[in-house]
Structure 1
Amino acid sequence: MPFDNIRHKATICSRLREAGRTAARARELRRLRASLGQLFGTVDLVLLAVLSARSTTISWHL
Protein backbone atom coordinates (compact mmCIF):
# COMPACT_ATOMS: atom_id res chain seq x y z
CA MET A 1 0.00 0.00 0.00
CA PRO A 2 2.73 2.61 0.68
CA PHE A 3 3.92 2.33 -2.94
CA ASP A 4 0.50 3.36 -4.24
CA ASN A 5 0.81 6.64 -2.35
CA ILE A 6 4.29 7.24 -3.82
CA ARG A 7 3.03 6.56 -7.36
CA HIS A 8 0.11 8.92 -6.78
CA LYS A 9 2.47 11.70 -5.64
CA ALA A 10 4.73 11.08 -8.64
CA THR A 11 1.74 11.35 -10.97
CA ILE A 12 0.68 14.62 -9.36
CA CYS A 13 4.22 16.02 -9.63
CA SER A 14 4.49 15.10 -13.30
CA ARG A 15 1.14 16.73 -14.01
CA LEU A 16 2.23 19.90 -12.21
CA ARG A 17 5.47 20.00 -14.22
CA GLU A 18 3.49 19.59 -17.44
CA ALA A 19 1.12 22.39 -16.39
CA GLY A 20 4.13 24.59 -15.65
CA ARG A 21 5.58 23.99 -19.12
CA THR A 22 2.21 24.76 -20.70
CA ALA A 23 1.94 28.01 -18.73
CA ALA A 24 5.48 29.00 -19.75
CA ARG A 25 4.61 28.46 -23.42
CA ALA A 26 1.46 30.54 -23.02
CA ARG A 27 3.49 33.38 -21.43
CA GLU A 28 5.93 33.29 -24.33
CA LEU A 29 3.10 33.49 -26.85
CA ARG A 30 1.51 36.42 -24.99
CA ARG A 31 4.84 38.25 -24.95
CA LEU A 32 5.30 37.61 -28.65
CA ARG A 33 1.78 38.88 -29.46
CA ALA A 34 2.34 41.97 -27.30
CA SER A 35 5.66 42.69 -29.02
CA LEU A 36 4.13 42.26 -32.46
CA GLY A 37 1.25 44.55 -31.51
CA GLN A 38 3.67 47.25 -30.39
CA LEU A 39 5.74 46.82 -33.54
CA PHE A 40 2.73 47.07 -35.87
CA GLY A 41 1.38 50.06 -33.92
CA THR A 42 4.70 51.85 -34.28
CA VAL A 43 4.91 51.04 -37.99
CA ASP A 44 1.35 52.33 -38.41
CA LEU A 45 2.20 55.65 -36.73
CA VAL A 46 5.40 56.05 -38.76
CA LEU A 47 3.53 55.31 -41.97
CA LEU A 48 0.83 57.82 -41.05
CA ALA A 49 3.50 60.45 -40.32
CA VAL A 50 5.29 59.81 -43.62
CA LEU A 51 2.11 59.90 -45.69
CA SER A 52 0.89 63.00 -43.88
CA ALA A 53 4.19 64.79 -44.50
CA ARG A 54 4.05 63.94 -48.20
CA SER A 55 0.50 65.15 -48.76
CA THR A 56 0.44 67.80 -45.98
CA THR A 57 -2.85 66.44 -44.69
CA ILE A 58 -4.00 63.65 -42.43
CA SER A 59 -6.38 61.42 -44.32
CA TRP A 60 -7.44 57.83 -43.83
CA HIS A 61 -8.35 57.51 -47.53
CA LEU A 62 -5.52 57.02 -50.00
Structure 2
Amino acid sequence: MSLFDRLGRRGEVHSLAAPYALDALEPAERVRFERHLRGCGRCRAEVRELAEDAVRLAWSTAAPPP
Protein backbone atom coordinates (compact mmCIF):
# COMPACT_ATOMS: atom_id res chain seq x y z
CA MET A 1 0.00 0.00 0.00
CA SER A 2 1.40 3.40 -0.97
CA LEU A 3 1.94 6.30 1.38
CA PHE A 4 -0.87 8.13 -0.43
CA ASP A 5 -3.26 5.23 0.25
CA ARG A 6 -2.28 4.93 3.92
CA LEU A 7 -2.70 8.65 4.56
CA GLY A 8 -5.88 8.82 2.51
CA ARG A 9 -7.51 6.14 4.63
CA ARG A 10 -6.78 8.20 7.73
CA GLY A 11 -7.87 11.46 6.10
CA GLU A 12 -4.34 12.85 6.20
CA VAL A 13 -3.63 13.36 2.49
CA HIS A 14 -2.96 17.01 3.32
CA SER A 15 0.25 15.98 5.10
CA LEU A 16 1.77 15.16 1.69
CA ALA A 17 2.05 18.86 0.82
CA ALA A 18 5.59 19.17 2.22
CA PRO A 19 7.01 16.07 0.52
CA TYR A 20 5.33 17.19 -2.71
CA ALA A 21 6.83 20.69 -2.48
CA LEU A 22 10.28 19.16 -1.91
CA ASP A 23 9.85 16.69 -4.79
CA ALA A 24 10.08 13.75 -2.39
CA LEU A 25 7.07 11.70 -3.52
CA GLU A 26 7.26 8.62 -5.67
CA PRO A 27 6.06 9.29 -9.25
CA ALA A 28 2.71 7.53 -8.77
CA GLU A 29 2.09 9.32 -5.46
CA ARG A 30 3.01 12.63 -7.10
CA VAL A 31 0.40 12.09 -9.83
CA ARG A 32 -2.27 11.21 -7.28
CA PHE A 33 -1.41 14.18 -5.07
CA GLU A 34 -1.53 16.52 -8.08
CA ARG A 35 -5.02 15.20 -8.77
CA HIS A 36 -5.89 16.00 -5.14
CA LEU A 37 -4.39 19.50 -5.51
CA ARG A 38 -6.84 20.38 -8.28
CA GLY A 39 -9.68 20.27 -5.78
CA CYS A 40 -7.97 21.37 -2.58
CA GLY A 41 -7.21 25.05 -2.15
CA ARG A 42 -5.75 24.40 1.30
CA CYS A 43 -3.07 22.10 -0.12
CA ARG A 44 -2.38 24.40 -3.09
CA ALA A 45 -1.73 27.29 -0.70
CA GLU A 46 0.48 25.16 1.54
CA VAL A 47 2.52 23.84 -1.39
CA ARG A 48 2.98 27.39 -2.71
CA GLU A 49 4.18 28.63 0.71
CA LEU A 50 6.51 25.67 1.20
CA ALA A 51 8.01 26.08 -2.27
CA GLU A 52 8.61 29.78 -1.59
CA ASP A 53 10.24 28.91 1.74
CA ALA A 54 12.51 26.38 0.02
CA VAL A 55 13.66 29.03 -2.46
CA ARG A 56 14.32 31.52 0.35
CA LEU A 57 16.35 28.91 2.22
CA ALA A 58 18.37 28.09 -0.86
CA TRP A 59 19.18 31.76 -1.43
CA SER A 60 20.01 32.37 2.23
CA THR A 61 23.08 30.16 2.29
CA ALA A 62 26.28 32.05 2.79
CA ALA A 63 28.30 32.53 -0.35
CA PRO A 64 31.99 31.71 -0.06
CA PRO A 65 34.21 34.78 0.09
CA PRO A 66 35.81 35.79 -3.20
TM-score by length of 2: 0.38
Q: Report which of the two has the higher share of helix.
A: 1
How does the TM-score come out when normalised to structure 1? 0.41
Larger radius of gyration: 1
